[in-house]
Structures are given as structure tokens and as C-alpha cells.
Amino acid sequence: MKFQDYYEVLGIQRDAEAAAIKKAYRKLALEWHPDRHQGADKEGAEETFKRISEAYEVLSDPEKREKYDRFGENWEHGQDFDPGSGERTMTREEFEAAFGDSAGFSDFFQEMFGGQFRKDFGDGPRQHARYRYRGADVRADLSLKLTDAIAGGKRSLEIPGRMSCPSCGGTGFVGEHICPSCAGVGQVRRQRTVELKIPEGIRQGLALRLKGLGEPGQGDGEPGDLHLVLRLEDDENYSMIGKDLEARVRLAPWEAESGVKLDIRTAKGVVTVTIPPGSRSGKRLRLRGQGFSDGHGNSEDCYVRLEMDLPVQLASEQKDLLEKLSATAGSEVVGGARVGGDS
């Protein structure tokens, strides 16, 4: 993090005494702890919480505060503050000094989480056992090309999320110290790869719930769920016309003239479509009930739109025939801006 005004962060005067610093930190930490925020607000709360912790760590230490007041931005010789790499962390005693005695330390978490906080006492140093708290649900939009949606199968997607901090196991503490890896939050960010099977009855705006793939729980709490909302996107082969599906089919001129049977993939599977002789580019054929589900047990329609095209590679005989056709055919194409003659 770059240099910041720690007094401004805590909302205190520059001549504030230790008691005022502690009081300001306690109030802000209670307000901005990430576990008190959900959804889109959580990330911003985490960054604010880290800035508050950084400010308190400096201003509560007389030696650091004196350097900060004296040198300002250069108090650490120009180095950026990195809460994940610093060696000094807040000890249990320092935390209790900020929030009171052991009872006050417990009250801090009880106020936040309804008394679900507990401490374990045993041999060796005291361990901080986090409250039991279910992880937050995560909502994300999944954009899916219509070709992929119709083909079905599985798709891998990257979902931003969080995981329990591997350094502290999600407790926020390493021994008696605040975990330097997560700054006491108990979670770190990660990118997850999720394998999604495209479901039957897929449609625009379909909401999928993937149990246990949301944010991790705290302590023994279960993870939240991942809610995916499908957003179907047009591509070169398919598009949505209102609620109906439109498939674009390219035909060679001789196929359109003589008629042909083609296998077309629709939202319901592969169907055989008879293209009538003499079809022209832009003609639309309606396939009832071959579109996507309407969410009420029925299906919308699929339209086949014909487009004239030539094969990528033409045999020499085909080229000769096209040249002969060009030499003998009159200009009988109508419509659009063309009115006859060469264009």
C-alpha cells in the first residue's frame, strides 16, 4: 500500500492520546471487519479493514509513531507498507490492550457474531478458535455462446473467489500473532476453475445453484453456494430473435435451386430439414418447438435462415459453369439498392 495519512484513516487528531487511538480503532474495526459484510461490499470492507489495521499498528507503537510524525511519507525510508511481508504482527497482548482485557477481546467478536466466538485453552500457547460462520453465497454471470449452449457437454470457467488462509487455517492468527498473510481476515483471494455441465432445459437467464462453491466458512462453518446466471450470446451460427432461436444455414446456389435435405442442430437436438427447390437467400423456415425452454414446460420455436454462399474451394468445372452462367444470365436480381445492369 502507498503512503496514507494514518490519523485521517482513524479519524483522530494528530495529538490524540493512546486511549483515543485505541477507541477509534475499536470502533472502525467493528464496523469494517470483512465478516460483517457480504457480496460486493466485502472486498471494499477488506481493504478498509487492512488500512485501519495498518494505521493502528503504526500509531499505537510510540517508536513508529514518532518516526511517522517526523518523516511523514519517508518514515520507512520510502518503502511501501506490505502487511503480508512485515515481521512485526500484533500480539495477543497488544490486541487485548487495544480492546480491553481477555473479556474485552472476546466481547469484540461476540458483538460482531452474536456470541458464537469461543476460546480454547490447553497445553502450550492459547489458540484462537474462530466463530462458526457459514460462508457467503457468490453470484456470477456466465456468458455462453449459443453454439456452446446448444452443443451441451461440460465447460470450464474461472470464478474469482476466496479460500481459507493456508497460513493460519482460516483463524486469522498464527499462535498469538495476527496472521501476516491475511492481515487477520482469515481468507485470501484465489481464482477457481469450475467444471459446469450444461443442463437440460437451458435458457436465457437460467439461474444455477452450485452447492458449496461459494466463499469458505469460518471455523467449522460450511461454505456458501455459487449462483450462476446464464447469459446466452449470439455468434456466427445462431442468434436470438426475441425468445426464438435462429440458426443461419449457408447454401451453395445449386443446393438452393434444386432443393436439399440438411441436418440442423437445434436446442432440442438434430433435425432433418427439407430445403424446398428455388429457395432464395433470406428465406426463413420455422421449426415449431425446437427452440429453448420457456421455463414452463414448453419450448419456443427455432427458425432456419438461408444464406447463399459458395464453397471455400471450387473445382475447375464449377468455376467454368459459374463463368458460363455469368455470361449468359441477364440481370434479373431485384430488391435492395440494385435496379439492374452491372453493379
pLDDT for 208: 87
Average pLDDT over residues 112-141: 52
Structural domains in the chain plus CATH codes: 6-129 (1.10.287.110), 138-233 (2.60.260.20), 238-325 (2.60.260.20)
pLDDT digits (tens, 9 = 90+) for 205-251: 888 888 887 777 766 678 888 888 889 999 999 999 999 999 999 98
C-alpha cell at 281: 437467400
| Single-letter residue type at 34 | P
pLDDT of 283 over the 90 cut:
yes
Reported confidence tier of residue 120, pLDDT bands at 50, 70, 90: very low
| Interatomic CA distance for residues 197 and 268, integer angstroms | 16
- Least confident range from 81-90, 153-162, 272-281, 300-309: namely 81-90
- Those residues with Cβ within 8 angstroms of residue 190's Cβ, 6 or more apart along the chain or in another chain: 160, 161, 162, 163
| Interatomic CA distance for residues 238 and 179, integer angstroms | 52
* Torsion (CA) 76, 78, 83, 87 in degrees, nearest 10: -50
Give the strand pairing for 260-266 and 269-275: antiparallel
What percentage of the chain carries pLDDT values higher than 90?
20
pLDDT of 112 over the 50 cut:
no
Do 155 and 241 form a contact (C-beta atoms < 8 A)? Answer: no
pLDDT digits (tens, 9 = 90+) for 248-261: 999 888 888 889 99
| Interatomic CA distance for residues 229 and 237, integer angstroms | 23
Give 132-192 as a DSSP string: PBPPPPEEEEEEEEHHHHHH-SEEEEEEEEEEE-TTTTTSSEETTEE-TTTTTSSEEEEEE
pLDDT digits (tens, 9 = 90+) for 152-197: 888 887 776 777 788 887 776 777 666 778 776 777 877 778 788 8
Higher pLDDT, residue 160 or 201: 201
